[in-house]
Amino acid sequence: MEAVEVRDVYKFYKKYADRHKFLTIKSALVNKTLFGELQVSERFEALRGVSFEVKSGQTLGIIGENGSGKSTMLKILAGISKPTAGEVVTRGRISALIELGAGFHPEISGRENIFINGIILGLTRKQIQEKYDEIVRFAELEEFIDNPVKSYSSGMFMRLGFSIAINVNPEILLIDEVLAVGDASFVPKCLDKINEFRRHGKTIIFVSHDLATIERICDDVIWIKKGKIEMRGYPKRVTDAYLEYVGKKDEVKTLAQHGEEEKLSGREKEKRWGSREIEISNVRMFDGNDKEKYIFRADEPLAIQFDVDARAAEDDFVFGIGVYNGDGINCYGSNTLLENYAARRIQGKGRVRLMVPALGLVNGTYFLDVAVHKRDGYPFDYHHFQYTFRVTSSHRDVGIARIPHSWEFSDNIAFSKNENS
């Protein structure tokens, strides 16, 4: 059975043309447009015909860029705002974790706020009484529960809010990015609780930018793009497509930057130096399919290619590359000399290609150095920090390089691991 059905939902927001966001009676009287200005002058289309359904017991992830309409969708599902057109049917009690602790009163104690918040979320006093201990225990606030909420840290505040919302015991749980603000030790606990909900066959709709978590906990993922569903399907497939799209978008930017930098290089002498007896030009990067690209996944093959032009014949030359991360740390460097290529002859125009089967770097922006020089270091043409590329992937490892690895455990250590992560 479907726990949630969304049929052709549209949501438009008003955008006021004038710089004042709010009307005043004074201005309305002066302009003689008491209700005229309430008319929509321009509208922002947050959702444009979204339809989907979620089966009872399923966990659906919603991803998308900022402003794509994810949160609007969630607010409509929660019944907080109404769709401009279309229909939403939900079956079962809903608890929405959109902003934790909304409605907490800072002046009164955590204990009293639990009761107030619980009733706001639809529990009865008796139900709260029954769950009270569990709420406090889960929030780890036993010692502070009688202090006013204003004395709580933001982490404590969030823990209490999450604990109440989760103990409302909903059939449908809506989560909007709230885990992003939690303290490091509490987030895994929240995820455990969410997994427990899944095991109990509850329906969950999870909005997040954290693709790794989405892949781990969702049965199904929807990608919303500019108010429309771009794609729905198996988590890994959708997140990969999404990453690719985001990457492409960034790539356009990076490509544009790339061209800029080539133009700039003449002026910025300190970034390029050498006698130019051999000249490097047209430095480009390609993926495994020979498509020009500047955003790569860590496990993807790539090629660095540049044209060389030696005006006179030369028998002492070395080609080299260097990769630097955003902190300026040299992640890798090598050249033909170090790899025992003995130079014999170069003359006229040529092309050099460096093939990399897998980049093995962690997420981040990198700079590329390309150079040709003599064996003793005399530079013909040295391009320093002239080119950038990016590594994006759903891996979240850190460091300088992604060292190939696998984990092994003895039999008495048990893990449950999702194949996606």
Partner 1 sequence: MIEKLKEILRHRQLILILVSRELKARYRGTVLGFFWSLFNPLLLMLVYTVVFGFIIGGGRVAGFASTKLYALFLFNGILPWTWFSSSLLESSNVLMVQGALIKKIKFPIEVLPIMVVTTNMVHFLLGLPVLVAFFVIFGKGLTPWVLFLPVSLLAQYIFTMGLCFLISALTVHFRDIKDILANLLTLWFFATPIIYTYQSVPKALQYVLNLNPMTHIVESYHYSFYFGSLPHWKRFSVTILVGLLFFYLGYLLFDKLRDTYVEEV
Contact residues for partner 1 (CB under 8 A)?
13-14, 22-26, 28, 38, 75, 78-82, 94, 96, 98-99, 102-103, 105, 107-108, 112, 115-116, 119-121, 124-125, 148
* Strand extents, DSSP E, 82-201: 85-90, 94-97, 172-176
DSSP state of 16: -
Q: At its nearest, how many Å lie between partner 1 and the CB of residue 191?
A: 22
Instruction: Give the H/E segment covering residue 209.
Output: none
- Closest CB to partner 1 among residues 87, 107: 107
For residue 352, the one-letter residue type is V
Q: Which of 188, 230, 200 is nearest to 58 (CA)?
A: 200
Q: What are the backbone dihedrals phi and psi of residue 253, each rounded to the nearest 5 degrees, phi first?
A: -65, -45
Give the β-pairing of 379-391 and 2-15.
Answer: unpaired
- Closest CB to partner 1 among residues 102, 264: 102
- Closest CB to partner 1 among residues 17, 403: 17
Q: At its nearest, how many Å lie between partner 1 and the CB of residue 193?
A: 20
Q: At its nearest, how many Å lie between partner 1 and the CB of residue 86?
A: 14
Q: At its nearest, how many Å lie between partner 1 and the CB of residue 11?
A: 10
CA distance 4 to 22: 35
- Closest CB to partner 1 among residues 105, 349: 105
CA distance 84 to 73: 12
DSSP state of 276: -
Q: At its nearest, how many Å lie between partner 1 and the CB of residue 261?
A: 44
- Closest CB to partner 1 among residues 44, 378: 44
- Closest CB to partner 1 among residues 26, 417: 26
Q: At its nearest, how many Å lie between partner 1 and the CB of residue 75?
A: 8
CB atoms within 10 A of CB 106: 12
Output the six-digit token pair for 77. 């599902």
